[in-house]
């Protein structure tokens, strides 16, 4: 199927990045959110990120202007009905995602493909609550979307080949690389990444090292560009905890048990960069470890 118009549900850090790369690749984009403030912030961020690409001579000023012109916004979810492809990038809670798809269904065209940017939730289960499980896929971008090259494509048990090929063509057109994953909890990237982050939190919890020593050890000893606790703050500790819970519940293995310290930080509302405090305190000029 020739996809021309892409609808994006959610204008947060993932949604605005997806809108950015899709518009830059020539797709017409309609982005929705429940908050006008979130939409305004998203459009400002997209413009700043495009400006950065212009300053680095990755794109021209004309390409920037054309990309911005292709992005339209709405507060009404059902306005996305005429889109050829819809990418849901709302919060990582299954009930929220199910409610979004339920509201969209009566307004969709017969050929519309539904996808979710979920980082861990069962695609088969989400698809089963819609009228088109064969036209439903996981479309998992990495954060930050304009920079990261990978997209995980996850087929549910009912996803047909035409849907997969249509989504693969979108990944190719936006200049990214697709990795096909089976529909098991957390797919590939987070199945490997999140237990590592969780183990780093356990290492902190048990006093093996402090925040600074753990992050420095992994950056300098394993050549990671970012330490695991710094990365957790970047992702959001609530998201890390949600994915660990999906792994623990879905695979019933104690090795996926979320560290109690991670739970405590989330309960405190210290979710990382987005709340200015997590394993680091970001309220000053430079981040300061909180333990």
pLDDT band at 262 (very low <50, low <70, confident <90, very high): very high
Cβ atoms of 168 and 153 closer than 8 Å: yes
152 counts as catalytic: yes
Q: What is the mean pLDDT of residues 12-40?
A: 97
**Is the pLDDT confidence value at 161 over 80?**
yes
At the second CATH level, the architecture of 5-181 is 3-Layer(aba) Sandwich (3.40)
Q: What is the mean pLDDT of residues 200-213?
A: 98
Q: Which of 35, 29, 34 is nearest to 8 (CA)?
A: 29
Q: How far apart are CA 187 and CA 95, in angstroms?
A: 20
Q: What is the mean pLDDT of residues 107-121?
A: 95
119 counts as catalytic: yes
Dihedral angle computed from the Cα positions of residues 176, 182, 187 and 189, in that order, rounded to the nearest 10 degrees:
-40
**Three-class SS string for 246-271?**
HHHHHHCCHHHCCCHHHHHHHHCCCC
Taking the domain 190-282, which CATH number applies? 1.10.1040.10
pLDDT of residue 227: 98
pLDDT of residue 177: 98
Cβ atoms of 204 and 291 closer than 8 Å: yes
Q: What is the mean pLDDT of residues 182-203?
A: 96
62 counts as catalytic: no
pLDDT band at 17 (very low <50, low <70, confident <90, very high): very high
**Is the pLDDT confidence value at 33 over 90?**
yes
**Is the pLDDT confidence value at 176 over 90?**
yes
**φ/ψ (deg, to 5) at 283:** -80, -15
Catalytic residue among 38, 49, 117, 119: 119
Percent of the chain exceeding pLDDT 90 equals 97
**Is the pLDDT confidence value at 147 over 80?**
yes
Catalytic residue among 88, 120, 140, 198: 140
Strand ranges inside the chain, DSSP E: 5-9, 28-32, 71-74, 85-88, 113-116, 136-141, 150-155, 177-181, 280-281, 288-289
Give ranges for CATH 1.10.1040.10 in the chain.
Answer: 190-282
pLDDT band at 92 (very low <50, low <70, confident <90, very high): confident
Q: What is the mean pLDDT of residues 188-198?
A: 96
Average pLDDT, the chain: 96
**Is the pLDDT confidence value at 1 over 80?**
no
Dihedral angle computed from the Cα positions of residues 9, 12, 18 and 22, in that order, rounded to the nearest 10 degrees:
70
Query: 0.85 cut: is pTM over it?
Result: yes
Catalytic residue among 117, 166, 190, 198: 190
Give ranges for CATH 3.40.50.720 in the chain.
Answer: 5-181
pLDDT band at 278 (very low <50, low <70, confident <90, very high): very high
Percent of the chain exceeding pLDDT 70 equals 100
Q: What is the mean pLDDT of residues 101-126?
A: 96
Catalytic residue among 16, 38, 88, 152: 152
Q: Which two tokens stand for residue 64?
A: 């920037």
pLDDT of residue 81: 96
- The β-bridge partners of 114 are 86, 136
SS3 136: strand
Q: Which two tokens stand for residue 188?
A: 């590939």
Q: What is the mean pLDDT of residues 91-119?
A: 95
């Amino acid at each position: 199927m020739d996809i021309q118009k892409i609808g994006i549900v959610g204008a947060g850090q993932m949604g605005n990045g997806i809108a950015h790369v899709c518009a830059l690749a020539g797709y017409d984009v309609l982005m929705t959110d429940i908050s006008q403030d979130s939409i305004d912030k998203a459009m400002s961020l997209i413009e700043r990120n495009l400006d950065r690409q212009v300053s680095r001579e990755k794109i021209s000023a004309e390409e920037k202007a054309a990309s911005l012109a292709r992005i339209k916004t709405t507060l009404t979810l059902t306005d996305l009905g005429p889109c050829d492809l819809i990418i849901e990038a709302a919060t990582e809670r299954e009930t929220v995602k199910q409610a979004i798809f339920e509201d969209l269904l009566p307004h969709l065209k017969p050929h519309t493909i539904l996808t979710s940017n979920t980082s861990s939730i069962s695609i088969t289960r989400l698809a089963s609550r819609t009228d088109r499980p064969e036209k439903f896929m996981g479309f998992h971008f990495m954060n930050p979307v304009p920079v990261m090259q990978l997209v995980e494509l996850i087929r549910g048990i009912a996803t047909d080949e035409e849907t997969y090929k249509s989504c693969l063509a979108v990944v190719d057109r936006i200049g990214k690389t697709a990795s096909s994953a089976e529909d098991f909890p957390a797919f590939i990237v987070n199945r490997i990444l999140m237990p590592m982050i969780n183990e780093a939190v356990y290492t902190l919890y048990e006093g093996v090292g402090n925040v600074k020593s753990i992050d420095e050890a992994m950056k300098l000893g394993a050549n990671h560009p970012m330490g695991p606790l710094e990365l957790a703050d970047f992702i959001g500790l609530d998201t890390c905890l949600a994915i660990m819970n999906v792994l623990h519940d879905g695979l019933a293995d104690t090795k996926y048990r979320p560290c109690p310290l991670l739970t405590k930080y989330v309960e405190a509302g210290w979710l990382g960069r987005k709340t200015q405090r997590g394993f680091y305190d970001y309220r000053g000029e430079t981040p300061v470890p909180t333990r």
